[in-house]
Structure 1
Amino acid sequence: MPRNTSSRHRSKPSKGEAVQIVSSTGKHTFSLNHRALMKILLTKELKNVHVVLISVAGAFRGGKSFLLNFILHYLITNEIATSCSDTSDGFAWSVGSNRHTTGIWLWNKPIMYKLSNGQQIAILLMDTQGVFDSKSIIKECATIFALSTLLSSVQIYNLPGNIQDDDLQFLQVFTEYGRLALKETNQTPFQTLHILVRDWSYPYEYAYGKDGGQKLLEDCMKVNRNLAEEKKQLRIHLQSCYEKITCFLLPHPGFKVATDPKFRGELSDIEPEFVNHVQELLKYLIDEENLTPKKVNGRLITCRDLFHYFKVFMDIYADDQIPSPKTIFLATAEANHISAVMTARDYYNKEIEKICGPTRSYVSPDALLKEHRRIVESAIQCYKKIPKIGEQELGHSYLNNLKDQLQKELKMIMKRNEVKGRRLLTSFQPMTILFIIIFVIIAVQATGIIRLLLHHIFSSESLLIIIFVLLLVFVLKSSD
């Protein structure tokens, strides 16, 4: 796919802010801010748009939020940040040894991006709490990292210094989940993993940037006979679970960045070599071929689908225990089926509105029921055609759930249709009375005897005037 970062593919710059959607409860667990997430993902403009979710995860105090601000500025303006103000209005960050970000934050104004094929996608940026700080327990670290991995389509794994085996081990639970997904669906469960090594100190072995990073990654992921069996399997499974794994090496940003408590992000205080490679990194990340839309079971998901995945994954990580790969798999399957039901229901509502929507006239109950049955059959076929995980365990119950929902929809539609019928009948009553009066007058006039008696009272012109007045009254009454 050709590289294309032209500004015409971006939405116009819009003000936004970082919003916390997952927060700590203070008891080593997390809660989801449903309202905030709904405002971001379920707007009329975005809910049916495919989504790219870029998340940065890794150890605390690793510069994740600062990096995200460079990405945010580049996405909105198509330009590299050149001053402190360019990176100060995004995700919050600070200098020092203590963690700053807690929970999970989303930028509340997704960036609309037009692909070369004309498709519009929404790009979301997600900042996560750093792992392995002195205040967090393993369960907290696992929860944050899991949500980042399971929800993102592009995960930037921020590592200090080098790629260690411990860093790969942290991904092991997801390789186990991936094996279950591969066995069930034969689809790669995750899209893109970018390993970003910060403060790389050995450019004479592996050069800074993408090429040096890729060589380092290839050497780290090699499977040879001297490697322990557990490490062999980890590398094999990790590569099978992602569509793409890349690595990028960044130099140290400089002495002032690391030691000056007054550092506020001025590019003049950052080593030029670091800035140059950040520019290279941004162009690489925002290349169209690396903006991978989120998929589940090979199917592109929408912002509305993502909302339900957030809810389901938060539910399984709400317990005190870290969920097993099987539990994660079943949660993914549940959200997958919910998404399929909603898609089929949308199809039903769209088709039934063509028959008796708000702008349509009254339909006889028999005709409406016949159309309902036809559209339900099509909606069920729509549901069945959507690729789903865990079909054997969940398929039957969610299909019945869809049928129940459509039956409830029918009851509401029938009630609205009845109201239309009553209004139609009411509107006919004045017209019926009017025609009776006109008929009587004409009949009376046609009777010779009565016509002679009323000759001096009503002329033909008078009769026309009476009829005209009655028609006028009827029109005014109907307009009420």
Structure 2
Amino acid sequence: MPVVRLCEDMKEHPKTSKHKCPVQIISLDDQGGLALANEALSQCLEQGDVGDAPVCLISIIGEQRRGKSFLMTCLLRQLQNQEDKDASWMGSDDEPLEGFEWRSGPETVTKGVWMWGEPLWVQVPQGKVAVFLVDTEGSMDLQRQLETSIKLSVFSILLSSYQIFNILSEFKLVDQDYLEMFITVAEEVGKNFNLYPVQHLDLLIRDWQHTSTYGVEGGQEHLKRVIKDLESLPGNDLVLKVLKAAETQCYLMPHPGTRFTRSNRLGDFEKDFQDCLKDYVTTLVALPAKHVRKDSNGHALTGKQLAMKIRDFFQFLEENHYDFSSPVKMAETLANMREQVNRKIVDIIKGEYSEFVLHQDRDTQTETHCLNISPTEMQKKLEEKCQELLERCRRELLGDEQQKEAMVQDVGQELRQMLEGFMSTYNWRFKEMENAANRTIKDKFKQQYKGYITDQGRENKARLQCCRVQPRKMRQCLEKKGQELLQQCEEELRGAGDRKQAVLRDLEQELTEQMDDFLSNLE
């Protein structure tokens, strides 16, 4: 029985370009195996302008039959009627709710992870944001195994930039336990995909009856009490860390009324509930630009980038045995995935640098090409490439910052060993080619001086005896020419000053010897 299955057909997943309805992205079979609706994922996140646009994903989790799909329907209405500044987006009193399929009763409707099948575009100062609504069922279903909750939580996290935890009546022990599991999963997923574990979390407490203060004001007071209670007990550090975060808020929603629980008409709202619902939905929909999906470096993800992360994860699950039976087992599975991915990243980085060094080696085998780049320039070039690859490695590696930095340091050490090995060879090569070039330059000026002396001797012989140049004047003439050639040679010679001066001293000595031989014959 396959544990992961890719669904390529769209029989159960209508194309979003034709159907304005939810499409199922993740499903579970009777044995708990995961299935990815690949075409539905592509239709949602990669088609049209969505592929290159930032995406905001409003995702809701919580126990079944607690109004998650109903809330999604209200969010959908507001996003489809953004021009409505009052409560008219909620519809008329007798209008039935349509959107995410929902109804009151013990049976659950939504199974797995669903997304609204087309983007809900919101205009922001920077451009447009594609907003998607994500509805998850089964992550807190007590009739299912813990493994199912973990699996669905993974994808709820991946498909979320604004997470709503739908809670009934008050924050209870079961909610605390689930939140701890969810955060554990979120942190591991964050490490594996270089994502913020939880970008934003709303604790939306439904059917609140303990006080008459609702909304954010009442929610934040309740959150303070929850935090105080948890601080008095050991072992709650992980949950407290998230509850205290600036990205977490609590919102209290009153009961909608007994009539509403028996129907799906908007007119059956209690007024307090209607006011809170309008406030919550309107405020949330006004903030998509602030809650686009981002990676751990704070860069916004496009639809294509997010879809690729989901496919990469499914591919890993297909190719490897995995165990999500507990948060510990899940952490081990994801750690194994990180290790495999990181090993590939490191091998690619080292391979690219090795190829780059070999390319520099091949391109500098000839004297002309080698002497065009000094060892200092070559060192700088290799160091810049090394830093470029290490920065890329740091961005692509998975895991927490400490783990990633340790791996980057190890990779950096290997790259620098390649650099130093090549530079040792290059320094020697450059020096040898520089010496050969300088010998050629010296020989050229030596031959020029020899030719000049020969010409002077020939001209002097052709003159009448009385008009021939005297040895003393000839010496002055030859010395002057020698100095001119030495200056020209100095300009053409390569290398540092001390090496150039050594070549010039040798050349000067050889020119002097030529001059002395010529003058002795002249006399």
Q: Per the shorter chain, which TM-score range?
A: 0.5 to 0.7
Q: Which moved more, 1:33-42 or 1:80-89?
A: 80-89
1:197 alignment partner in structure 2:
205
Residues 259-298 of structure 1: CA distance to partner in whole angstroms, max 9, x if unpaired? x3xx1x2111221221111001112212327841111212
- 1:324 counterpart = 2:323: no
Find the aligned partners of 1:388 and 1:103 in 2 and give their Cα distance: 30
How much does 1:387 deviate? 6.1
2:113 alignment partner in structure 1:
104
Matches within 5 A, 1:329-408: 383=392, 386=395, 388-390=397-399, 391=404
Cα 1:105–1:175, aligned 2, differ >3 Å: closer, same or farther?
closer
- 1:43 counterpart = 2:47: yes
Contact kept, 8 Å, 1:209 with 1:248, in 2: the verdict is: yes
- 1:218 counterpart = 2:221: no
Letter in 1 for 2:101: A
Cα 1:63–1:184, aligned 2, differ >3 Å: closer, same or farther?
closer
Find the aligned partners of 1:81 and 1:162 in 2 and give their Cα distance: 26
Letter in 2 for 1:91: F
Contact kept, 8 Å, 1:75 with 1:286, in 2: the verdict is: yes
Cα 1:285–1:294, aligned 2, differ >3 Å: closer, same or farther?
same
Q: Secondary structure at the match of 2:75?
A: helix
1:360 alignment partner in structure 2:
none
1:163 alignment partner in structure 2:
171
Cα 1:86–1:192, aligned 2, differ >3 Å: closer, same or farther?
farther
Find the aligned partners of 1:203 and 1:58 in 2 and give their Cα distance: 23
How much does 1:228 deviate? 2.1
Contact kept, 8 Å, 1:188 with 1:243, in 2: the verdict is: no
Among 68, 77, 82, which residue is 1:73 paired with? Answer: 77
Cα 1:218–1:76, aligned 2, differ >3 Å: closer, same or farther?
same
Q: Secondary structure at the match of 2:59?
A: strand
Among 106, 109, 123, which residue is 1:114 paired with? Answer: 123
- 1:17 counterpart = 2:21: yes
Find the aligned partners of 2:23 and 2:190 in 1 and give their Cα distance: 34
Contact kept, 8 Å, 2:180 with 2:239, in 1: the verdict is: no
Q: Secondary structure at the match of 2:52?
A: coil
Residues 415-464 of structure 1: CA distance to partner in whole angstroms, max 9, x if unpaired? xxxxxxxxxxxxxxxxxxxxxxxxxxxxxxxxxxxxxxxxxxxxxxxxxx
RMSD between aligned residues: 4.2
How much does 1:164 deviate? 1.3
Q: Percent identity?
A: 25
Q: Give the TM-score, by structure 2 length.
A: 0.57
Residues 188-235 of structure 1: CA distance to partner in whole angstroms, max 9, x if unpaired? 53210011001111124xx1111101111122123776x22112x133
Find the aligned partners of 2:305 and 2:181 in 1 and give their Cα distance: 24
Cα 1:187–1:45, aligned 2, differ >3 Å: closer, same or farther?
closer
How much does 1:386 deviate? 4.2
2:309 alignment partner in structure 1:
309
Q: Secondary structure at the match of 2:208?
A: coil
Cα 1:212–1:46, aligned 2, differ >3 Å: closer, same or farther?
same
Q: Give the TM-score, by structure 1 length.
A: 0.62
Find the aligned partners of 1:97 and 1:200 in 2 and give their Cα distance: 21
How much does 1:236 deviate? 3.4
Find the aligned partners of 2:224 and 2:324 in 1 and give their Cα distance: 35
Among 132, 135, 150, which residue is 1:127 paired with? Answer: 135
How much does 1:161 deviate? 0.8
Find the aligned partners of 1:184 and 1:24 in 2 and give their Cα distance: 22
Cα 1:336–1:171, aligned 2, differ >3 Å: closer, same or farther?
farther
How much does 1:146 deviate? 3.1
Cα 1:194–1:120, aligned 2, differ >3 Å: closer, same or farther?
same
Contact kept, 8 Å, 2:192 with 2:338, in 1: the verdict is: no
Matches within 5 A, 1:456-467: none
2:251 alignment partner in structure 1:
248
Find the aligned partners of 2:177 and 2:138 in 1 and give their Cα distance: 17
Letter in 2 for 1:104: V
Find the aligned partners of 1:75 and 1:99 in 2 and give their Cα distance: 25
* Pairs aligned (count): 346
2:35 alignment partner in structure 1:
31
Cα 1:187–1:137, aligned 2, differ >3 Å: closer, same or farther?
closer
Letter in 1 for 2:398: I
Contact kept, 8 Å, 1:30 with 1:103, in 2: the verdict is: no
**Highest relative contact order (Cα 8 Å, sep 6+), 1 or 2?**
1
Q: Secondary structure at the match of 2:259?
A: helix
Give unmatched runs, 5+ long, in structure 1. Answer: 1-13, 340-376, 399-480
2:279 alignment partner in structure 1:
280
Cα 1:167–1:331, aligned 2, differ >3 Å: closer, same or farther?
farther
Contact kept, 8 Å, 1:115 with 1:288, in 2: the verdict is: no
Find the aligned partners of 1:72 and 1:58 in 2 and give their Cα distance: 19
Contact kept, 8 Å, 2:170 with 2:208, in 1: the verdict is: yes
- 1:60 counterpart = 2:54: no
Give unmatched runs, 5+ long, in structure 2. Answer: 1-17, 346-384, 412-523
Contact kept, 8 Å, 1:177 with 1:326, in 2: the verdict is: no
Contact kept, 8 Å, 1:159 with 1:198, in 2: the verdict is: yes
Contact kept, 8 Å, 1:153 with 1:191, in 2: the verdict is: yes
Contact kept, 8 Å, 1:69 with 1:87, in 2: the verdict is: no
